[in-house]
Amino acid sequence: HVVDPPSLIVQDFTLIKARTCNPVRVYKTVHCDGLLLCVMDNQLLVRNPLLKETTWIKCGSDFHQRDDAYSLGYLSHCDYRILRFRCASNSRNRPSRVEVCEVASKTWKVIDNISFDWFLSVPLSILSLRGTPYCIGLREDHTAFVQSYDFYKERFQPIDDLPFSYDEMNPIALEIYKGDRLSVLEQCHKTRKICIWVKHWLMLTSWTKLVVVDIPEFPLIYPRLTLLSTNYYFDKNNRLVITCNDTDMKGLSIIRVINDKDFQVIKADEEECGFPFLCSYVPSFVRVPGFSKQDTSRIRWRKRRFN
């Protein structure tokens, strides 16, 4: 139903270690059809917040939560997979590597015979749409494009170039729009102007410009040298909601665009989580493969409403 006046509801959870009261630091998160993949220090968590089902997956000794890219997808709705990979140029002289984990069995498989003639944009911008991982890739000539991974063919497949000329000074981000379209955001670091384009998941059409936010006072959504990517979505009133890691704002903020001239800034609570994130989440009844009831006690929930 419609809430009047308009409000922003933030649902968040804190992960607690089984034998201590210290929160577990979450570095990255990806959502796929109602399931959340959370990346931590030495393990991964797959979670359905609606059903409160959880499964934990251990990672090997070559695990690096900050360097590696992650996404959640599936071959079928009963066969979820986790993609983990790194490009050599993104990994401090560490070799390229691609691995896929079957969530139900928690087994990892190294994917051989994949060579990288591209690297990931930083900060990493990766998501999952209809079971397929997508990310923003950069070629050696610094042209930017959308890259996908095919779990069936076990290989990466380029989709399309971005609808603008890449500038490493301009913040960019990749998101899902209305559940069936890819969306890409770019902000000019000089004018602070934001443009958002969309493209249908079948990839048969060209990019369409969806929104332009031209407010000179708008903060830069993230500084150039950062590991934290930007997340954004449109609320039920079709207003843009976006995370901001601007150093001038001293931490993470959530910004909601009110109209052509005004925006609202909401400070995020970072006391319990050093790496907060925002995502547009649609609840589902998808069961978590390998779910064990004993895992559920390690999750603590909170709900907050910002008017």
For residues 240 and 231, is the Cβ–Cβ distance under 8 A?
no
Q: Does a structural domain hold residue 172?
A: yes
> In the predicted model, what is the mean pLDDT of the chain?
80
Q: Does a structural domain hold residue 3?
A: no
d(CA 245, CA 253): 7
Q: Look at residue 180 in the predicted model and tell me its pLDDT.
A: 86
CA within 13 Å, CB half, 78:
0
Spatial CA neighbour of 233 closest among 257, 264, 250: 257
pLDDT (average), residues 70-77: 90
Q: Does a structural domain hold residue 297?
A: no
Range of the domain at 167: 8-282
Which residues have a Cβ under 8 Å from the Cβ of 116 and sit 6 or more positions away?
87, 88, 89, 96
For residue 289, say if its preceding peptide bond is cis, omega within 30 degrees of 0. no
Q: Does a structural domain hold residue 257?
A: yes
Of 47-61, 111-125, 238-252, 261-275, the range with the highest mean pLDDT is 47-61
For residue 123, say if its preceding peptide bond is cis, omega within 30 degrees of 0. yes
pLDDT higher than 90, residue 183: yes
Of 37-51, 70-84, 107-121, 248-262, the range with the highest mean pLDDT is 70-84
Q: Look at residue 57 in the predicted model and tell me its pLDDT.
A: 92
> For residue 277, what is the domain's CATH number?
2.120.10
Q: Does a structural domain hold residue 276?
A: yes
Q: Look at residue 59 in the predicted model and tell me its pLDDT.
A: 81
Q: Does a structural domain hold residue 217?
A: yes
Q: Look at residue 198 in the predicted model and tell me its pLDDT.
A: 95
Q: Does a structural domain hold residue 292?
A: no
pLDDT higher than 80, residue 82: yes
Angle at the Cα of 209 (from 208 to 213), degrees rounded to 5?
165
Indicate the number of domains in the chain. Answer: 1
In the DSSP assignment, the letter for residue 218 is P
Q: Which of 114-118, 174-178, 248-252 has the lowest mean pLDDT?
A: 248-252
d(CA 15, CA 19): 12
Q: Which residue has the higher pLDDT, 266 or 251?
A: 266
Provide the pLDDT confidence category of residue 63 given band limits of 50, 70 and 90.
Answer: low
CA distances from 226 to 123, 140, 223 (A): 6, 21, 6
Give the pLDDT confidence of 192-230 residue by residue, as tens digits: 999 999 998 776 778 999 999 999 999 888 876 666 678
pLDDT (average), residues 129-141: 91
d(CA 119, CA 144): 10
pLDDT higher than 70, residue 11: no
Q: Which residue has the higher pLDDT, 248 or 149?
A: 149
pLDDT higher than 80, residue 187: yes
Q: Does a structural domain hold residue 289?
A: no
d(CA 299, CA 15): 5
